[in-house]
Amino acid sequence: MSTSTNLLRIKASRMSSMKSSTEINSNEGRINTSDDSNGSDCHETSTKRRGSKNIVWHKCSVEKVDRQDLLHQKGCVIWITGLSGSGKSTLACALTRALHSRGKLTYVLDGDNVRHGLNSDLTFNPEDRVENIRRIGEVAKLFSDAGIICIASVISPYRKDRDACRSILQDGDFIEVYMDMPLHVCEARDPKGLYRLARAGKIKGSFTGVDDPYEPPLNSEIIIQMEGEVCSPPEVMADKVISYLDAKGYLQA
């Protein structure tokens, strides 16, 4: 048998293997929230995947508490949710700047930014929106485990998906910040022009607040609202979150 024939067979075998792997991965889906754990081991309550078999979590001697001691802070996830135009990204940037000025290590996971890379293969259909939040939740958990204060700024319209992200973190380490801004205010801002496109019928079946529902949180740790007809400055909103972090001991190890 010629060398070229062997190479063709090897290539075909590899292509078949890659296809099988892709088919398995495409079926990987949602976070399992049936675990009764209180979050004492965030790895064991993580995503259960149908395609992941015969694997065991490998534990290292350097743990979260050691990394927190090194950084003089406690890792957590600040999950900022709300309608498009509610001020999520504005708060996230003000908050990371304020914490940085206090010598705290943070990282912002912005919903749009993540879709430029990790989630660039996802659309805005309901199934992909679930997967989008699942991936962001898993990445945020890794940041928290590293001792970093992770700030996730993402619409995350479905309550069950936000609750699933909460369930994979240690108890208390998921801090939900609800940007409770009226739809008409968000639509008047329309910083990206998306409401205008949705109202014109150019974004169909998937735009939150117009033709796709937003399910408000039921028990957020922090709620940001307008004061009368006025929105608080970003620095004031950030101070409210920082006060919560201070009170809960996240800004010292």
pLDDT of the residue at 54: 85
Give the CA-trace dihedral at 43, 47, 53, 58, to 10 degrees: -20
- So which residues are the catalytic ones? 156
Give the C-alpha separation, 85 to 96, whole Å: 19
Q: Average pLDDT of the chain?
A: 84
pLDDT of the residue at 50: 58
pLDDT of the residue at 32: 34
Domains in the chain, ordered, with CATH?
62-183+214-248 (3.40.50.300)
pLDDT of the residue at 211: 85
Q: Which residues pair with 225 in a beta bridge?
A: 180
Q: How many CB atoms lie within 10 A of CB 185?
A: 15
Give the C-alpha separation, 134 to 118, whole Å: 12
Give the CA-trace dihedral at 12, 16, 21, 27, to 10 degrees: 150
pLDDT of the residue at 241: 98
pLDDT of the residue at 21: 37
Q: Which residues pair with 178 in a beta bridge?
A: 81, 223
C-alpha of 92 from chain center = 13
What is the pTM for the complete model shown?
0.79
pLDDT of the residue at 203: 85
Low-confidence residues of the chain, pLDDT below 50? Answer: 2-48
Q: What is the largest CA-CA distance in the chain?
A: 82
Any idea what the Cα angle at residue 151 is, between residues 148 and 152, rounded to 5°?
A: 130
